[in-house]
Amino acid sequence: MAIFKGAGVAIVTPMNADGSVNYEKFKDLIEFQIAGGTDCIIVCGTTGEASTLSHEEHLDVIKYCVEVVNHRIPVVAGTGSNSTETAIYLSQEAEKYGVDGVLLVTPYYNKATQNGLYKHFKAIADSIKVPVILYNVPSRTGCNILPETVVRLCQDVENIVAIKEASGNISQIAHLAAIAKGCVDIYSGNDDQIVPILSLGGIGVISVLSNVAPQQTHDIVQKYLDGDVKGSCQMQLEALDLCNALFCEVNPIPVKAALNLMGMEAGTLRMPLTDMEPANVARLEKAMKEYGIL
Q: Which residue of the set 25, 63, 164, 256 is catalytic? A: 164
Instruction: Choose, from 63, 118, 135, 187, the residue flagged as catalytic.
Output: 135
Which element (helix H / strand E) includes 148?
A: helix 147-156
> What does DSSP say about strands 6-10 and 204-207: parallel, antiparallel, or unpaired?
parallel
User: Catalytic site residue 119?
Assistant: no
Catalytic residue flag (residue 164): yes
What lies within 8 Å, CB to CB, of 48 at 6+ separation is 10, 11, 12, 13, 42, 61, 78, 252
- Whole-number Å distance between alpha carbons of 29 and 173: 31
Residues 6+ apart with CB under 8 A from 223: 229, 231, 232, 235
Separation of alpha carbons 21 and 248, rounded Å: 25
Contact call for residues 125 and 99 (beta carbons, < 8 A): no
Q: How long a stretch of residues is the chain?
A: 294
d(CA 18, CA 253): 17
> What DSSP letter does each residue of 151-187 carry, written as one string?
HHHHHH-TTEEEEEE-S--HHHHHHHHHHHTTSSEEE
Contacts of 45 (CB under 8 A, 6+ apart): 10, 11, 78, 103, 135, 206
Residue 245: beta bridge partners? none
> Which of the residues are catalytic?
135, 164
